[in-house]
Amino acid sequence: MTRTVAQKRAEFRALHEQGCFAIPNPWDKGSARYLQGLGFKALATTSSGHAWSLGLADGGQSRDTMLAHLRDIAGATDLPVNADFENGFAADVEGVAESVRLAVETGVAGLSIEDSTGDAANPLFEIGVAVERLRAARRAIDAAGGDTLLVGRAENFFAGRPDLDDAITRLKAYAEAGADCLYAPGIRTREQIAAVVAAVAPKPVNLLIGWASELSMQDIAALGVRRVSVGGALARAAWGGFDRAARALAEQGRFGGFEGAASGADLDGFFGRFSE
C-alpha cells in the first residue's frame, strides 16, 4: 500500500492521541526502509546521524541539504516521518516561517523546532523570541493546510542549561504558541519525565532515550509519555560496530570485528522488494 502525504499525516496525529509508541530515527533511505520492515508505526529523522553519514559534524548541513534529506526519507517509506529540523535554519521569525514552509513541502508528517541558538555563550533564545519563532512555524503550517504536526523543543539539557523549571516554562509557552507535541531532550529521571508530562497535559510529550536506559517502553508509557525517539543512537550503534571492526583490522590485522555482521543475502532479500 502506498499512503498519500495526507494519509501519513492523519495517521501520525492519531498516534499521538493515546498510548505510547516508539519513533526510531533512521539516517538514510536504507535504514528508513529497514525500520519500516520491523513494524514501527512512524519514523523521525536525526540531524546528527545524517550529518555523520555526510562526513560532517551535527549541525553542519545546509538548509538545502537538510530539505533534500527530508524529501528522501519521506519518499522512501509509507510511514509518517517527523523531521528533526534543528532550529529552523534561521534566527528571525521570517526565516523560520520560510524554512518551515519548505520543510512541509517535502512531505514530512511532523517537524520540530529547537530553541537553541548555536552560540555557546548564549545557547538558548530568550523565551519571548523562542515563542515568536514557534508562532511563525505554526502560521506557516496553518497556511499550508495545518495537518503537519509541530513539535516544540526546549534544549536546556542539551545546551548546558539543565534547569527543569525553565524547560517546563518554555514548553508550556510553546504549547500555548501552537506546538502540538512537546519535547525536552536530555531529561532522564522518572521525576523529570513525570513533571514535564504533567506540565503540558493534555498535549503529548516526546521522550528521548539515546542510551542504555533502565526504563522500558512499558515504564515510559506508565509515566504518560506518548512517543519515544532515539535521536542519533541507532546511527551511533552502527558507527560503533564499524569502528570496532575497522580498528581491529587497522591496529591488529584481524577480522574478528565482522562476527555478528548482517548477512549480505538477508539484506539483499529485504531490499530486493524496493526499486527506484
b or e along 246-269 (b: 16 or more beta carbons within 10 Å of the residue's beta carbon)?
eeeeeeeeeeebeeeeeeeeeeee
- Output the nine-digit C-alpha cell for 230: 532515539
pLDDT class for 2, splitting at 50, 70, 90? confident
Which residues lie below 8 Å from residue 126, measured CB to CB, with a gap of 6+?
none
Contact 86/114 with Cβ under 8 angstroms?
A: yes
Contact 87/60 with Cβ under 8 angstroms?
A: no
- Output the nine-digit C-alpha cell for 35: 525500520
Which tens digit of pLDDT belongs to each residue from 165-201?
A: 999 999 999 999 999 999 999 999 999 999 999 999 9
Q: How far apart are CA 239 and CA 105, in angstroms?
A: 31
Contact 168/199 with Cβ under 8 angstroms?
A: yes
Average pLDDT over residues 237-260: 98
Which tens digit of pLDDT belongs to each residue from 90-120?
A: 999 999 999 999 999 999 999 999 999 999 9
Which tens digit of pLDDT belongs to each residue from 65-78?
A: 999 999 999 999 99
**Helical segments of 116-224, H only:** 127-143, 164-176, 190-200, 217-222
Which tens digit of pLDDT belongs to each residue from 20-73?
A: 999 999 999 999 999 999 999 999 999 999 999 999 999 999 999 999 999 999
The three-class DSSP label of residue 208 is strand
Q: How far apart are CA 199 and CA 177, in angstroms?
A: 15
Instruction: State residue 275's pLDDT score.
Output: 78
Which tens digit of pLDDT belongs to each residue from 199-215?
A: 999 999 999 999 999 99
Instruction: State residue 235's pLDDT score.
Output: 98
- Output the nine-digit C-alpha cell for 185: 531532550
| Cα angle 46-51-53, degrees, rounded to a multiple of 5 | 100
Task: Indicate if the pLDDT at residue 144 is higher than 70.
Answer: yes
Instruction: State residue 1's pLDDT score.
Output: 56
Please confirm whether the linkage preceding 202 is cis (ω < 30° from 0): yes
